[in-house]
Chain A
């Protein structure tokens, strides 16, 4: 019975989720606009100091997104691995029950960043409230010399493994 219920639940989910079709790139007009606003907010409040490398993810309060940063030693800093051997540290995980209102951010800092390749991933594990659909996000990389920015959207329970990669 449990499995039959599971099947029917799935079928019901399909029916309920109905028309929430997104385009293949996961980008829709309003979502892209919201991502742009998030990006503007990040740019307007830079946080990096000196030679440090700072990576920020911004997202709206109705979703829980997670920032993943993989450093040159190919170890990833994220909500369950707070520090890496290459020196990355993540700020407190921002979840649905977090008190922050408005735009939310997660941040990874490397005080003395190693040279090498970095990869940024964004996951969308939970929706907190609101309507279904892709969640807009913005990523800002502040590094010595040149900043990088990426805006986009991610679908529920889809981990975008590599939204941005760069060399330091």
Chain B
């Protein structure tokens, strides 16, 4: 045991001998020389299933966390890029300050390993000269999971890369053949530790490397609630007006309810009837996640005027209505289309939803029983014919052997994706892979399509002023669209390294009109305050936090879920539902509206 190890052991014993107070804790985070460490994330884990509450250390290294449960043991983690993580079990105690002394990392490889996936992915993208190829690689290689995280930044044989690309194509994320042929060399050279680590850690031992978040960000408190199991895929979550969070686990066909006002969060789960579907649902694609138990595939959810929760069942090809009082489901078969995706409920109680695989938008009126399936235009005749043949193709594919070559094509078929209502009631949607948005008249179903001046419009939302905010998943931006003038204004995301973000979704805070963006490849949530033209980036504590949607609590909190697929790539291996409180005002009870 060398001197450094002895010192670390002594330090650990010092830390272990202190204790967290029942309802909160405070202390300082310093370096070995006693200087404060600013912007360290101090995370308290408690309960089972766990909740983790994270606060940031301030200018003097001090931190304060409140709202911790009484009489609970804790696991405290202290984290800051460039410093070794501290993990320290704690017992409830007497309020003695919990101070932590962090140790500088000297091994560049360890520092590089702490960086979010987008830093690593940037090494791939910087080698791609063609914008066309770069767009396709970004859109397709991050479709289900982060690219550049520890599980994906691996060097592989060319043969292994080609098999992976083939599997990706069968799951719906194909690349053009020319790009496929470049991938092995491209990714292997980018992820070669000999090249990557010096680039990623240049100047890591000097001030200015991985600067701390600014004071405004450091006020934030982040709560993460373990949700589901190790195969779970918490695709979307919402905040119900009653104060509960609801989340759908696509992998286990389960609706979860979280009461965040209870310390560590009280969970209830409701299995969704699967109608005896086979694994993968009706017409399974033939390329399922290996650990899935999905038979209906709950994907997206919204609350209607009665407080019931509507859910798209993507591979069951159904809509589900969950009565929150009776805690029971009513299922409604789709009369057409394949793969219901994202839904919204309009003022008349009608459910509008995108249907991605078959390129439709659907409407269901539960009062009258009326269904409408609206075919969205393809970009050309070939696509149109192919889309109309899809049901027959899928049926034939169950019976005949179709060798599609396993490569796919990067352009992909048009996919109606996000959906939202304009203040005038117009139903707007994005069409991923086709770089378009569209509007449907809610009464006449008349359709209008508009090209976007950026690629991969994904899940969009309106603000209170009637402007639509659209994330460009492969274009590293959000765009403001004015339906009256037809003009777009693009805002590049300032996530470093520039150009490496993949914003999956946006939502607009109804109280402030702030636009919130999923920092899907960088473990962040991003706020854009349109009134002062300012971006603020909030880092999230868990590595490999892949987010797909955002919602807001009645108390102004910002909510999302970690739905990286597969979940085993997530740090700790389990998904979480996440709450960000910007102002750090989170004393229990956390949601005042909760009954």
Whether B287 contacts A3 by the Cβ 8 Å rule is no
Specify which chain A residues have a CB less than 8 angstroms from the CB of B164 in the assembled complex: 80
Specify which chain B residues have a CB less than 8 angstroms from the CB of A2 in the assembled complex: 382, 409
Type the 1/0 row for B265-302, where 1 means its CB is closer than 8 Å to any CB of A. 00000000000000110000011101110000000000
Kindly state the separation between the CA atoms of A80 and B393 in the bound complex, as whole angstroms.
Answer: 29
| Chain B proximity of A125: nearest CB distance (Å) | 6
| Chain B proximity of A42: nearest CB distance (Å) | 21
Q: Which residue of B280, B382, B402 contacts A161 across the interface (Cβ within 8 Å)?
A: B280
| Chain B proximity of A151: nearest CB distance (Å) | 20
A126 within 8 A of B: yes
Whether B401 contacts A7 by the Cβ 8 Å rule is no
Whether B290 contacts A10 by the Cβ 8 Å rule is no
Interface residues of B in 313-333 (CB under 8 A from A): none
A21 nearest in chain B by CB position: B399
Kindly state the separation between the CA atoms of A13 and B518 in the bound complex, as whole angstroms.
Answer: 41
Given A74-B291, A76-B290, A157-B287, also A5-B163 (CB < 8 A) = no
Whether A85 contacts B568 by the Cβ 8 Å rule is yes
Q: Which residue of A7, A17, A18, A80 contacts B160 across the interface (Cβ within 8 Å)?
A: A80
Specify which chain B residues have a CB less than 8 angstroms from the CB of A93 in the assembled complex: 159-160, 163
A62 within 8 A of B: no
Whether A80 contacts B290 by the Cβ 8 Å rule is no
Specify which chain A residues have a CB less than 8 angstroms from the CB of B568 in the assembled complex: 73-76, 84-85
Type the 1/0 row for A126-149, where 1 means its CB is closer than 8 Å to any CB of B. 110000110000000000000000
Whether B290 contacts A3 by the Cβ 8 Å rule is no
A132 nearest in chain B by CB position: B401
Most-contacted residue by chain A among B159, B166, B393, B568 (CB, 10 A) = B568
B6 within 8 A of A: no
Tally of contact residues, B, Cβ under 8 A = 41
Kindly state the separation between the CA atoms of A85 and B572 in the bound complex, as whole angstroms.
Answer: 11
Comparing B15-23, B237-245, B383-391, the segment that makes contact with chain A is B383-391
B337 within 8 A of A: no
A2 nearest in chain B by CB position: B382
Whether A70 contacts B291 by the Cβ 8 Å rule is yes
Kindly state the separation between the CA atoms of A37 and B404 in the bound complex, as whole angstroms.
Answer: 30
Specify which chain B residues have a CB less than 8 angstroms from the CB of A167 in the assembled complex: none
Specify which chain B residues have a CB less than 8 angstroms from the CB of A7 in the assembled complex: 382, 385-386, 389
Q: Which residue of B290, B400, B409 contacts A121 across the interface (Cβ within 8 Å)?
A: B290
B566 within 8 A of A: yes
Tally of contact residues, A, Cβ under 8 A = 46
Q: Which residue of A14, A132, A159 contacts B287 across the interface (Cβ within 8 Å)?
A: A159
Q: Which residue of B160, B231, B380, B385 contacts A79 across the interface (Cβ within 8 Å)?
A: B160
Whether A74 contacts B229 by the Cβ 8 Å rule is yes
Most-contacted residue by chain B among A3, A14, A20 (CB, 10 A) = A3
Kindly state the separation between the CA atoms of A127 and B404 in the bound complex, as whole angstroms.
Answer: 11
Type the 1/0 row for B561-591, where 1 means its CB is closer than 8 Å to any CB of A. 0000011100001000000000000000000
Kindly state the separation between the CA atoms of A68 and B406 in the bound complex, as whole angstroms.
Answer: 18
Specify which chain B residues have a CB less than 8 angstroms from the CB of A80 in the assembled complex: 156, 160, 163-164, 167
A97 within 8 A of B: yes
Specify which chain B residues have a CB less than 8 angstroms from the CB of A68 in the assembled complex: 290
A45 within 8 A of B: no
B484 within 8 A of A: no
Kindly state the separation between the CA atoms of A123 and B287 in the bound complex, as whole angstroms.
Answer: 8
B404 nearest in chain A by CB position: A157
Whether A127 contacts B403 by the Cβ 8 Å rule is yes
| Chain A proximity of B435: nearest CB distance (Å) | 16
Kindly state the separation between the CA atoms of A159 and B229 in the bound complex, as whole angstroms.
Answer: 23
| Chain B proximity of A158: nearest CB distance (Å) | 4
B498 within 8 A of A: no
- Top-8 shortest CB links A-B: A3-B382, A74-B230, A75-B568, A4-B382, A76-B290, A74-B231, A158-B286, A132-B401
Q: What are 27 pairs between A and B in contact, CB < 8 Å?
A: A2-B409, A10-B386, A13-B402, A14-B400, A17-B400, A17-B401, A20-B400, A22-B399, A73-B230, A75-B230, A75-B566, A75-B568, A76-B290, A79-B163, A80-B160, A80-B163, A95-B163, A125-B170, A125-B406, A126-B166, A127-B403, A155-B286, A157-B170, A157-B403, A159-B286, A161-B279, A161-B290
B residues at A contact (CB < 8 Å): 151, 156, 159-160, 163-164, 166-167, 170, 229-231, 279-280, 286-288, 290-292, 380-383, 385-386, 389, 393, 396, 399-404, 406, 409, 566-568, 573
Task: Given contacts A1-B382, A125-B167, list 8 more A-B pairs with CB under 8 A.
Answer: A3-B380, A7-B389, A10-B402, A21-B399, A74-B230, A75-B573, A121-B290, A161-B279
